[in-house]
Structure 1
């Protein structure tokens, strides 16, 4: 069959399978792998030009990892915060150790068991980002923490890929290969750091003037560095990652990533189709029990590990539960690692099929767990209580008695704290932004670390004796919950919330809000009064301008 016709037929089949996956609310990766099974040798046997499709899939992996690298700026560890760093590393360690013992207990040889254990460790940042975005949970506490420790996983996966790629046909002792890997890897990374600091900034501004040239440069940079790493004895995958990290320090990283995604989506489609076509079915029944056991460990064991780690770090069981569900599947990194292991001769086709089976089961299962996490929670809440080492996660909360609460320290929270101090109120601040918490600790301001959107966290707050509540949170649903909860327990509390919509403001008033701040409305009123008072006197405007600038600089400092 002509390659053009072959590819066209495969893509059409992938489209119909993906439509079915979409109807079932499944990630398209599942559809791509099922397409590979359908067009593979056991069913339609449509793949006749395997070498060409394998080349395209290799390009897809390269572009995928290049984009992952673009999101792994060296500043990422500082940005994700301590909880994401500790949870990410802790989950990787515990999952890989337990996974190794499960794999060896199933009769898998030691080298293959290491690959299986590592594959069980990593979760898909791409899938989780999409699911959390669809649920509107990216800005919730658990969403921020989850994305943080998934990025930590990506960094660990990068290091593992670097180490694994050094064994591609390498001869000699493990110690010698590891030493050579460290030496060559260090030299290459230092070279990339120097280029990214001293050369890329000089040429990126010129290149970015043309969007077409920026796209071409980015593609040539990613593929070129990947090819260079391959020539020096590493895999193209680790080369693509390093190329992305080097380019991540330029101001055009986001633009580059957005332009590369359509190209990635096409080529990576062929990688997952090829992966599905490589699955073996001769001993399918021998793989079913190991696949189910390993999948149960990922679907149940991984979330339990995260729940315990986050409880030790002081988070509520609901936050730990929701964050834990985001690691209840294996990732594209796991499948790429398994494919590399198969190419290097470290694992058999049966082990590759086993890991792919686990990927299908866990990606499909975790999707429903995340989408319906709120409905599932009441059924598992009692079990989660048994996992709590510290009850109520109160280690992070630094506060004494209080009669006033400020939700949200950022935005204009500092102004309200000054007002609370003038009224001599005993107050606490509720926030979960790591930068806000750090500043609150430095200024010795009493706080509770938590998410105002978390119903379980709200039960820990004393609303009965509340005198003042101010929320600088802009989300209508969150403010509505706060007003209803407080008013149900306290009829006299003064509640001030923010809204940007007239209908929502009226709804908040109807539920019992004392005053709804509408920034644009208040700003317009102030501007009208200023115009009426100052008229055409520029000196009056200059005076207000200087006062406003001084206020802004004080808040930024």
Structure 2
């Protein structure tokens, strides 16, 4: 048996680096580059690598690392947060896709065992590619992003069960004797006890050494050791790695463990995909080209349709459901793992194996290309297919018909709820549009005025009275939906004030061109809030902070608009705050100031502060005159420097002498 040499490793890594770099330049996943590297260096390519068995052994380590990181990311809180979508969308997609593919394979004349393997492997989508593309476009928190995440998480969980099921399909069920089952349960129980009671003290002891390399070695030993223990129990190495990750997921050290293991995982996982590329026989493409292309198209249509139906069952609008289907149509990296194990168990013939590998590779290669156009395709398909009217109750029809001068809020997330709270306090009528049916149901139980629908739909906008509305607030996490909603709303009501929230500054010009009146970018506003908090920690006067932040905001937004708007000079507006701050000070009970006017108290002369307003019975009275009399329950809005505000507090509590400060009375 030929062993791998240093020359083989250099050829392997050098070609992988070059091809993955080229794939990155043309916006393809590096996984495609690794598969192509395997095609070139493998026995069916130029046969540049001699020690293929050693490459496969390193590939197994990559699979172990991958399953460990999946276990680390499967925290209980994350699963509970998406439990509704996991159970509805995830289970529907995996079960329906697996059963249909299995049935079609049996109809095509394949053995039942092979059909079951294909059903399990091809039901999976690519977690690595889809999540990467969603993160790059900032759509992970959008409706279709949450659906995709839920489906992918359920698929990742399903992989564990598939890995356990494959040996049973391979006729190894006879090895599961009563003694063997007892031994497996004993080893797993020991693993549980170790992770529950011994793992934390062990990691704490290692961390006390302040040697990062010892922590990394401990994590590597834990991963490989757990995989070995489960292998002794008659289960797969990958299952053991997943259990090790799950044991660490809820600990305080999971994030550090993940960051330490990722470089090892990515390196060995690249070798895994190269090894899979080595197994692909390029000659099968020339012999079975039409068959491979036909199966590829059929599989993609089938998976996209089932993912769409799964999202519809979770009561998402048609456009969002179609968009989810279009980004989950491919087959994923875990499918290679399942097929490789199935091949070693003789569950799939070589010819079927080669054809399936080509179909998987084609689906992964086309994913970035379709992803960039998925939003447009989904919108057009939804427009063609949705001829039916939205089903609204008589109560909703009556309520929306009576709306006038209201605010339409698209989205019921944190931003949408906060805007609604402000409007409710000011007694301004509003209505929510939300596309998640479960969220709509819960919001109605709390008494919210909310309707189910897609804000990009002109029909939905008309039904909520956008033509009679005063303003539209877009507080949604779907960047692809913003432009369409703005255009539709502007066509319905050209006097509508449209306020848009976006995640990125780069979207400003585009959204203004579509007709938005004001666009608030999250990343810029968050940076201003961080700067303000930092200045306060340095005890910078509030006035200077407000002036600087206001100047930055005006300068930034003015510079981003095309044509550029020259920033306003805010010095005239905020110069009074230059060295001071605003403070709210309630009038204490039994204060000697009760019932006396500001003139009688000589408030400005004695304290150096100015009363710019008084909050009385939930109303704000600005710029009170010298004859304004203080009453029980008043809260004073004071403007002044720190020392002056201290004197004002003493005056309100009856602790200040009658001597005035050196401040002219205004």
**Given the alignment of the two structures, is residue 170 of structure 1 paired with residue 172 of structure 2, yes or no?**
yes
Alpha-carbon shift at residue 257 of structure 1 (Å): 1.8
- CA shift for structure 1 position 428: 2.3
Deviations 1:527-554 (A, max 9, x none): 8333834633469899xxxxxxxxxxxx
1:117 offset after TM fit, Å?
1.4
Alignment partners' CA distance in 2, 1:529 and 1:480? 40
What is the root-mean-square deviation in Å for CA atoms of aligned residues? 4.1
CA distance in structure 2 between the aligned counterparts of 1:181 and 1:457, rounded to whole angstroms = 61
Match of 1:56 in 2: 58
1:447 corresponds in structure 2 to: 450
Identify the residue that residue 15 of structure 1 maps to in structure 2.
17
SS at match of 2:468: coil
Quick one: distance in 2 between partners of 1:152 and 1:55? 28
Residue 250 (structure 1) aligns with: 251
Tell me the equivalent position of 2:663.
Answer: none
Alpha-carbon distance between aligned partners in 2 of 1:94 and 1:353, rounded to the nearest angstrom: 24
Pairwise CA distance, 1:154: 0.7
Spell out the pairing of 1:364-379 with structure 2 (5 A cutoff): 364-377=365-378
Q: Which of the numbers 27, 30, 41 marks the counterpart of 2:29? A: 27
Q: Deviations over 1:166-218 (max 9, x none)?
A: 66773529xx67x8898766655555444444333344444456433332222
Q: Deviations over 1:199-243 (max 9, x none)?
A: 333444444564333322221111110011111111111111111
Q: Which has the larger radius of gyration?
A: 2
Could you tell me which runs of 5 or more consecutive residues in structure 1 were left unpaired when the two chains were aligned.
Answer: 543-557
| 1:123, distance to aligned residue in structure 2 (A) | 0.6
1:67-82 maps to which residues of 2 (within 5 A)?
A: 67-82=69-84
Kept in 2: contact 1:225–1:243 (CA 8 A): yes
Residue 222 of structure 1: SS of its match in structure 2?
helix
Question: What is the distance in 2 between the residues matched to 1:362 and 1:218?
Answer: 35
SS at match of 1:36: helix
Task: Name the CA distance, whole Å, in 1 between partners of 2:36 and 2:463.
Answer: 46
**TM-score (norm: length of structure 1):** 0.82
SS at match of 1:406: strand
**2:94 aligned residue (92, 95, 100):** 92
Counterpart Cα distance in 2 of 1:310 and 1:249: 30
User: 1:439-460 CA deviation, whole Å, 9 max, x = no partner?
Assistant: 6244221224567688897677
Deviates more, 1:55-64 or 1:261-270: 261-270
Number of the residue aligned with 2:126: 124
In the alignment, is residue 489 of structure 1 matched against residue 488 of structure 2? no
Q: CA deviation at 1:429?
A: 2.7
The answer as to 2:581 corresponding to 1:528 is yes
Q: Matched residue of 2:431: which SS? A: strand
Q: 1:115 aligns with which of 114, 117, 126?
A: 117
User: What TM-score, normalized to structure 2?
Assistant: 0.70
Contact 1:80–1:149 (8 Å) recurs in 2: no
Residues 298 and 460 (structure 1), Cα distance of their counterparts in 2 relative to 1, 3 Å cut: farther
**Structure 2 CA distance for aligned equivalents of residues 507 and 326 of structure 1:** 24
CA contact (8 A) 1:483 1:513 kept: no
Match of 1:406 among 388, 403, 409: 409
Deviates more, 1:306-315 or 1:59-68: 306-315
Q: Give the superposition deviation at 1:102.
A: 1.7
Cα deviation 1:408-453 (Å, max 9, x = unaligned): 5554655543443345444323456899767624422122456768
Deviations 1:123-160 (A, max 9, x none): 11111011112223222210121111110111111111
Shift of residue 267 of structure 1? 1.1
2:4–2:54 contact (8 Å) kept in structure 1: no
Change (3 A) 1:475 1:21: closer
Q: Which has the higher helix share?
A: 1
d(CA) in 2 for partners of 1:358, 1:434:
36
CA contact (8 A) 1:166 1:233 kept: no
Answer yes or no: is the 8 Å Cα contact 2:28–2:365 preserved in 1: yes
- Contact in 1 for aligned 2:143/2:477 (Cα 8 Å): no
Asked whether the equivalents of residues 458 and 489 of structure 2 are also in contact (C-alpha less than 8 Å), the reply is: no
Match of 1:136 among 135, 138, 141: 138
Identify if the C-alpha distance between structure 1 residues 417 and 282 changes in structure 2 by more than 3 Å, giving closer, same or farther: closer
Aligned equivalents of 2:190, 2:348: Cα separation in 1: 33
User: SS of 2:48's equivalent?
Assistant: coil
Tell me if the contact between 2:139 and 2:477 (Cα under 8 Å) persists in the aligned partners. no
- The aligned residue for residue 217 of structure 1 is 218
Greater relative contact order (Cα < 8 A, sep 6+): 1
SS in structure 2 at match of 1:464 = helix
Deviation at residue 374 of structure 1 after TM alignment = 2.9
The more displaced of 358-367 and 192-201 is 192-201
